[in-house]
Amino acid sequence: MRIFVTGASGWIGSAVVPELIRAGHQVLGLARSDASATAIAGLGAEVLRGDLNDTDVLRAGTLASDGVIHLAFVVPSVTEAATRTDARAIETFAASLAGTGKPLVISGATLVRPGRPATERDELIAAGPIAARITNMRAALAAADRGVRSCLVMLPRSVHGQGERHGFVPQLIAMARATGVCGYIGDGSNRWPAVHVKDAASLYRLAIEQAPAGAVLNAVGDEGVPVREIAEAIGRQLNLPARSRPAGDYAGMLVPLLTTDMPASSAITQELLGWKPSHPGLIEDIEQGHYFT
């Protein structure tokens, strides 16, 4: 297959592209800068210059391909403008693929279901701070009614691995170095789902190859890692204490992330596609030391 990938030079895209190429696929990667174009070419993919606002470019890339993996998102992701841009991009992909039965794989985020792990069968309710993004996810799934083999890959809060520099774990490490304490809020028993970036990449490949239309897939390796254990693992590497800190010491998205229990299961995904996460879990990955060099 020839697969059009947005976000091909990003953290997850830089793992997805080699995974696809190793499996025998050709990749056309969207690049919005010279640096992105160089990175994509270095991964062995063909480059298409443009960005998510260039609907003509997105249409051309889609029509020239056998399927689309949409990883890119205009940051900051919570802005109304960014979600509108994402909605236009998804509609462009869906309209271009309508009636072909070709695959469209869209990225989402694992859901939060109080008191239990979220699953692939949970309803996508457009509410809360990411309501607009959930609306876009629902629109992507609805493309199945237009003859598109569309599906969602739901990513957990931590997509970790060697080379991660901007995710939540690096943010916690930076704060620990700055304050001398590896912090968590409350008793730290609330849990994060997590996945190694190479396991996520293999799920994207399986999704583009064989996921049925309308599928929701959870890219989850660790169902739920207590935040306190994450802080303690960081503390062992930095030789710093791990202890509870006031919520006021944190800013932005870290507060809800450090206070919400959000485990998620991938049992349905694993059974449906035969996906088996095999790379290190989050704690083991932190303990390998690459985050601290």
Per-position DSSP letters for 9-69, written without gaps between them: TSTTHHHHHHHHHHTT-EEEEEESSHHHHHHHHHTT-EEEE--TT-HHHHHHHHHTSSEEE
CA atoms of 76 and 79, how far apart (whole Å): 6
Q: What is the pLDDT of residue 127?
A: 73
What are the CA-CA distances from residue 231 to residues 57, 240, 282 (Å)?
Answer: 44, 10, 12
Q: What is the pLDDT of residue 80?
A: 80
pLDDT tens by residue, 276-285: 999 999 999 9
Q: What is the pLDDT of residue 252?
A: 73
pLDDT tens by residue, 206-220: 999 999 999 999 999
Does the pLDDT at position 132 exceed 70? yes
Q: What is the mean pLDDT of residues 144-157?
A: 96
Does the pLDDT at position 129 exceed 80? no
Average pLDDT, the chain: 94
Q: What is the pLDDT of residue 77?
A: 53
- The stretches of the chain forming alpha helices (DSSP H) are 13-22, 34-42, 55-63, 80-97, 131-142, 168-179, 197-210, 227-238, 254-259, 267-273, 282-287
Does the pLDDT at position 43 exceed 80? yes
pLDDT tens by residue, 62-118: 999 999 999 997 554 557 888 899 999 999 999 999 999 999 999 999 999 988 999
Distant-in-sequence, close-in-space partners of 262: CB < 8 Å, separation ≥ 6: 110, 112, 118, 157, 190, 191, 192, 193, 224
What radius of gyration do the chain's Cα atoms show?
19
pLDDT tens by residue, 221-272: 999 999 999 999 999 999 999 999 998 888 777 888 889 999 999 999 999 9
CA atoms of 243 and 182, how far apart (whole Å): 6
Q: What is the pLDDT of residue 251?
A: 75
Query: What are the chain's domains?
Result: 2-157+196-218 (3.40.50.720), 165-193+222-292 (3.90.25.10)
Q: Is the peptide bond before 280 cis (omega within 30 degrees of 0)?
A: no
Q: What is the model's pTM?
A: 0.95
Angle at 95 between CA 32 and CA 120, to 5 degrees: 85
Q: What is the mean pLDDT of residues 46-57?
A: 96
Q: What is the pLDDT of residue 89?
A: 96
